[in-house]
Structure 1
């Protein structure tokens, strides 16, 4: 239904106050859009705006996260490419979500040609955990005692999962750096072998050393490619799901806010009923300073509405968590499979190259032995 590409990152302005703009191209069959193929220019702060709006508009929904902010190194080529790929994955997941793909702010983000002025007319989303204010507000809000054991279990599970993902990210970072160091060392071997191949050591020996230098260069390239794949596939995915856990916690927090809204409405109904009962016992009709029957009905309606909202969000969060788990397992399986396939293919090519090299050396030795035997016979 949607095909999203984020491409052509372009640096705008100076290194201090500049920014990068991306071309976001959308192909869709959705009837909610004016065209089926269109593109717009967006900067990173626009993606942040979208994430905050979607989180505010859809309480209980786990919104795919955008990459973290970085004050330094944001104009480096590798960083820009990593962020571009992460933004594309984020939009792809958002547009694949059955609830989020219908959000009007997503439609505004994807197709507005006057986005900067259009968002000024939109309401400002409340603070989320992407800022310190939102995080502190979640700590200092009304105390909540969980009544559903399912949520306590999932919160503990998320803490455990987050710790494992952070450990995985750290290990992958160490492993990729070690691969690069090994590749650099193999590159030194290639240079040394090539230097010897260019010297006066005889045609056969120079040929053997030249092939060895080529093999070492291939080993170096394979090591660098594997290190890059470990980072771009596994490390970035692990970091992304650490951020995803933050989005899950936001969905949990929206349910808690719904509970507090319900309790506030319940207290208001209790207060209204007490005031009206007291007035009735005193024989005072509801006058200008009292509470009318209509106000009591409205308070009770609000209580029923917030109670239903809390129950609906509880069911939605559970369904969203199941979706999150299913997609996480599938994505890690696909990514790990692709990484291993690439690694196996590179190693298979190297094994074949080394076998060919061994066969070449064997022929050289056999030829040399044959020549020695002929000389001895003569």
Structure 2
């Protein structure tokens, strides 16, 4: 993008975080001091320099000008030189940089202990009730459960064709009104949920890809991953009712979308404060020994499951590859051999073309068709199984830090108990610490139980799909071979 040269720039302060989407843009962060070089870029964008010396575009509405203060274009203390840099032409909005949060587990350890120590502010939001279930603490079920479809990925453009991206149509069952969302908006939602709910395992999005993002196979694979990602959120009693997710699946107005996005980014009930929004069962009190026992048990289970789904991905991917290449090639070669044999039979001058030659040709055609069936079969059985495995591999990657947050709080309680026994800590402080650790542990165990419930449900369903698809596949093979066999019966 071309921009006019400026000898001076206007100083501004960033109001919100903005993560760059491509090399033409730069990331800015709330309260960061920036220099706006060109406010006439158009389409709601300005060009400027952030405090790290990076020059590029960012939204005009994300900054507030500091009166009429200006900053020299070069040599001003605290600002990098604004000497012109090469124009960037790669405007691909479907690729997001690595500035997104690594995962909810990263926030868990950083926020669990501060909450237990009472560092969270007195900020209250809607309460998420924890109830006592047959498996222990559980999230109270959503009284109004719903689903949300992810359909019709279409390639779209903006900025007069300078940006291209794939948009997906989402339709929640409780409104039946569709909204259009890009991958970068899914990425925004994941980041917000990770920041807000450090104790929850927010699923990972399908992997990003720098090239081939508009190829049909990649778009189909990404959509399958987004379907599973969205389904997991809708089935979660806490995540499904969060303001950010509800805004994501219901907002149809562009201006309202931006306002809701900023409201979510200014949410105060995040990190340590989110534990203030969890309501424990009346009179609940967890025994620390039991808490540690359950945590150790889940840690052992999660480690083994993670190893297994990782192996599933390795073995399943290799099998899917062989379906599309090795098996297809070998069956096609066998079909060609049969057809060649049929042609040889036809060279017999005494008999000429006969039923046996036709049967051999039919056998060759059958094996060529079988090769195509093998090539397509992975889409019906192996790919869905691999997609679910990838979803759970991402979910499991969050738990080590979630477990560490609880462990740190329990260790602090034990240390404080010792300090109280020695008269170095007031009983009221110890009681408050125990109460907060109790809520943290209840929330952690409720998340464990939700994960176990979803795991049992999802793997039961996907294994049924896998086996049914395998049965249908082998039945189709049998029918095709029986058709070929029937050609020999009257010879």
State the TM-score, normalized to the length of structure 2. 0.56
Distance 2:318 2:294 in 1: 36
Distance 1:55 1:263 in 2: 29
CA contact (8 A) 1:24 1:41 kept: yes
Aligned equivalent of 2:184? 45
Change over 3 Å in CA distance of 1:234–1:211 after alignment to 2: same
Aligned equivalent of 1:23? 169
**Quick check: 1:178 aligned with 2:329?**
no
Aligned residue among 220, 230, 251 for 1:91: 230
Q: Counterparts in 2 of 1:121-200, with a 5 A limit?
A: 121-123=263-265, 148-180=292-324, 181-194=326-339, 200=346
- Per the TM alignment, residue 103 of structure 1 is displaced from its structure 2 partner at its CA by 0.9
Aligned residue among 216, 219, 242 for 2:367: 216
Q: Counterparts in 2 of 1:322-341, with a 5 A limit?
A: 322-341=449-468
Distance 1:150 1:3 in 2: 32
**Which one has a bigger Cα radius of gyration?**
1
**Quick check: 1:119 aligned with 2:261?**
yes
CA contact (8 A) 1:60 1:255 kept: no
Q: CA RMSD in A?
A: 3.7
Distance 1:231 1:194 in 2: 31
Where structure 2 has 5 or more consecutive residues not aligned to the other structure, the ranges are 1-144, 272-289, 348-352
- Per the TM alignment, residue 361 of structure 1 is displaced from its structure 2 partner at its CA by 0.9
- Per the TM alignment, residue 23 of structure 1 is displaced from its structure 2 partner at its CA by 1.2
Distance 1:16 1:235 in 2: 35
Distance 1:173 1:86 in 2: 15
- Per the TM alignment, residue 241 of structure 1 is displaced from its structure 2 partner at its CA by 0.9
After superposition, give the CA deviation of every residue in 1:112-138 in whole Å (9 maximum; x if it has no partner): 2222453134326889xxxxxxxxxxx
Change over 3 Å in CA distance of 1:152–1:95 after alignment to 2: same
CA contact (8 A) 1:26 1:37 kept: yes
Distance 1:326 1:257 in 2: 26
After superposition, give the CA deviation of every residue in 1:81-134 in whole Å (9 maximum; x if it has no partner): 11112112211221122222221111111112222453134326889xxxxxxx
CA contact (8 A) 2:229 2:391 kept: no
Distance 1:217 1:229 in 2: 20
Change over 3 Å in CA distance of 1:248–1:226 after alignment to 2: same
Change over 3 Å in CA distance of 1:23–1:262 after alignment to 2: farther
Distance 1:322 1:338 in 2: 24
- Per the TM alignment, residue 182 of structure 1 is displaced from its structure 2 partner at its CA by 1.1
Aligned residue among 208, 215, 219 for 1:76: 215
Q: Counterparts in 2 of 1:269-348, with a 5 A limit?
A: 307-348=434-475
**Quick check: 1:233 aligned with 2:384?**
yes
- Per the TM alignment, residue 335 of structure 1 is displaced from its structure 2 partner at its CA by 1.1
Change over 3 Å in CA distance of 1:102–1:12 after alignment to 2: same
- Per the TM alignment, residue 169 of structure 1 is displaced from its structure 2 partner at its CA by 0.8
Q: Which has the higher helix share?
A: 1
Aligned equivalent of 1:289? none
Distance 2:434 2:163 in 1: 48
Distance 1:183 1:98 in 2: 45
Aligned equivalent of 2:62? none
Paired positions, count: 313
After superposition, give the CA deviation of every residue in 1:7-56 in whole Å (9 maximum; x if it has no partner): 1212245999643221111121xxxxxxx221111111211221222233
CA contact (8 A) 1:65 1:247 kept: no
Change over 3 Å in CA distance of 1:116–1:20 after alignment to 2: farther
CA contact (8 A) 2:243 2:264 kept: no
Aligned residue among 397, 400, 413 for 1:246: 397
